[in-house]
Structure 1
């Protein structure tokens, strides 16, 4: 047999072996999280939309068992040259960390009921961030539509801060995304969703009164 053919056949056997090992590993993970290997992110996992509750230093969805602790943060410089914050959130299923997501944000002073308040914006306005969030539908076995899932996860992010008890003034946390970025990610936006003139869409927000022991969803 020609040497080149022998080499190609050997390479094909190696690739086939790698593919079979990868396939086995993927199916093991899918069984672990009770995920069905069907298209369009279908799964046999959590049949209910994510609905997080505030905990002292995290948010928690009692139906799915998913929790999101308050993130690690660090200073950064945004693309427009403005100083901002980098957020690194971890996602847990039960006691096990199943992954994490990172994104940037900024803060500003807004008015809440006639009083100045510090508002922190989570920037979920980028295609790569949206796609990174959506991949957790499969991992977590959530059967929501894409937009509903993004809303649920964003709620988990903002509610991780709802346990503030030491803030001297009111606080607000807002998770923002954009119409164009959602479209590029293939996410259908429901007709009843409010879209600002700039294309901004609020996925979730939380107001925290001064010296509050827990926040409330507006």
Structure 2
């Protein structure tokens, strides 16, 4: 059965594996050529113990639609090293899902870790992407029905958190 990380207050939890994805630390990245760059630092826990971690870059953008403000966070699992780290984590926890299935389930968990927020004044959207070339390099084909962005990135998961 594929991983299914459901939102909790400050995390996402998979019943089958007993793993929680904690809401990450979000820090300004030291990459100077991209504005709005954020470093996301996730921890994975099982039974109160750390079982893994994952760090990668993303961006934040503020948009206004129909008079409502929305902050869009893009969590970018490219370059391929991040996808390789995810597959090593999969192996380390003994998960038997197909690689593409696990990647998509974990990506949804990364987004779902934010879903339980209740103190945000703006609408929030978290979108997890990976570049199709990076997926192909590790032998993962683009999941069926995935949205493809103009830069060749594939949307693996997303979550919308309305303003509270």
Fold equivalence (TM over 0.5)? yes
Tell whether 2:25 aligns with 1:75: no
Tell whether 2:141 aligns with 1:188: yes
Match among 8, 17, 24 for residue 55 of structure 1: 8
Match of 2:120 in 1: 167
Paired residues, number: 164
SS at match of 1:64: coil
Confirm or deny: 8 A CA contact 1:146 1:188 kept in the other structure: no
State the TM-score, normalizing by the size of structure 2.
0.91
Question: Could you list the runs of 5+ residues in structure 1 that have no partner in the other structure?
Answer: 1-47, 212-218
Match of 1:205 in 2: 158
Q: RMSD between aligned alpha carbons?
A: 1.8
Q: Quote the offset at 1:144 in angstroms.
A: 1.4
Match of 1:147 in 2: 100
Match of 1:86 in 2: 39
Question: Structure 1 segments of 4 or more deviating over 4 A?
Answer: 111-114
Output the CA distance in 2 between the equivalents of 1:193 and 1:167: 28
Q: Quote the offset at 1:99 in angstroms.
A: 1.3
Output the CA distance in 1 between the equivalents of 2:142 and 2:34: 30
Confirm or deny: 8 A CA contact 1:93 1:140 kept in the other structure: no
Output the CA distance in 2 between the equivalents of 1:114 and 1:203: 28
Q: Which of structures 1 and 2 has the bigger CA Rg?
A: 1
Question: Could you list the runs of 5+ residues in structure 2 that have no partner in the other structure?
Answer: none
Match of 2:85 in 1: 132
User: Bigger CA drift: 58-67 or 188-197?
Assistant: 188-197
